[in-house]
Amino acid sequence: MDLSFILVQLLSGLTMATLLFLVASGLTLIFGVGNVFNFAHGSFYMLGAYLAYQAATVWHTDFWTATVAAALGAGVLGMLAESLFLRRIYGRAEEAGFQILLTYSFILVIDDMVKIIWGTEYKSLLRPAGLRGSVQILGETTPTYNLAIIGIGLAVVVVAWLVLTRTRAGKVARASALDREMLSAMGVNVPLTMTLVFGIATALGGFAGALAAPLRSVTPGAGIEVIIDSLIVVVIGGMGNFWGAWLGALILGEVTAFAVILVPEWAVVVSYVVMVLTLIFKPEGLFSHSPLRKV
């Protein structure tokens, strides 16, 4: 195993980690701000992939316009789901159980909606013009699109950090996670804040789905696969921990990338082993400083 091979695997793991982070960050953002576990978050990822396919392949827009449209579409549908349905169960007894049942019903509805509109056949999306080639790094070939995804992911991390720490909207969102009643007493429209947070989170999921569409086939049920990996990421990083989601995605992406090469017969279970070890030795997450939430 030489240096160039290790570098290629690192980049492959970083590409996977970036896509996982974009999905998991939305999942953990909703949990951190609203204490809502959106079991259907993967469905918004899948919806983003289909919306990008619709825009780029059927309506013949360019790839980046399709990606923005997919993120906006997933974000709007997420806001509708929160304001029309989830808001009605906030504060109820056994709210956690209702959350699981309601968001699971979203999965069934979105999956059936996708099958009705786009059918059950596999769909594919071309990589954007200008990013269909590859570059040589230490003698090894690396797709330029993968490098672009890594760059986009880093840009999202920086923008998210600026928004969460330097803007009033970010501070309001963080305060919502601590004390909604106090925030409401100060005149902040908490329900609107929750709806916007839900929209941003699902838009991130849709954005990730659109970016992943040229790398993976677009199929109904893709949301289930990605929600499992995203759940592993937030378990590793800590529920509700935005930066933990980033570091958790990096760990999972790199571990999976090298496991495929080093122990291919065990690669499928390696991510689960990492999650189980985390739950045993640090159940609140490797990067969480707060104690585990009590339900």
pLDDT category of residue 266 using cuts at 50, 70 and 90: confident
Cα dihedral sign, 232-237-241-243: negative
Find tokens 């793991």 and name the residue.
13
pLDDT at residue number 294: 42
Tokens of 162: 């600026």
Burial class (CB in 10 A: 0-12, 13-18, 19+), 230: buried
Tokens of 133: 């080639």
Which residue type occupies 230?
S
pLDDT at residue number 84: 94
Q: What is the mean pLDDT of residues 196-212?
A: 93
At residue 159, does pLDDT exceed 80?
A: yes
Which ranges of the chain would DSSP assign to H, the alpha helix? 3-34, 41-53, 63-84, 95-118, 144-166, 168-178, 180-185, 190-212, 222-237, 242-262, 267-281
At residue 290, does pLDDT exceed 70?
A: no
Find tokens 């259907």 and name the residue.
40
At residue 116, does pLDDT exceed 90?
A: yes
For residues 237-247, one letter each, b for 16 or more C-beta atoms within 10 angstroms of the residue's C-beta and e for the rest, the string is bbbbbbbbbbb
136 φ/ψ angles, rounded to the nearest 5 degrees: -95, 120
pLDDT category of residue 292 using cuts at 50, 70 and 90: very low
Mean per-residue pLDDT over the chain, rounded: 87
Interval 63-74: pLDDT, tens: 999 999 999 999
Is the separation of the CB atoms in 239 and 283 below 8 Å?
Answer: no
Tokens of 31: 């949990």
Spatial separation of the C-alpha atoms in residues 17 and 272, rounded to whole Å: 16
Interval 169-179: pLDDT, tens: 888 877 877 77
Nearest CA among 42, 35, 25 for reference residue 234: 25
Nearest CA among 216, 245, 220, 211 for reference residue 230: 245
127 φ/ψ angles, rounded to the nearest 5 degrees: -70, 155
Report CA-CA distances (Å) from 122 to 5, 69, 126, 153, 178. 32, 21, 14, 26, 43
Interval 18-56: pLDDT, tens: 999 988 888 888 888 878 888 899 999 999 999 999 999
143 φ/ψ angles, rounded to the nearest 5 degrees: -65, 135
pLDDT at residue number 1: 64
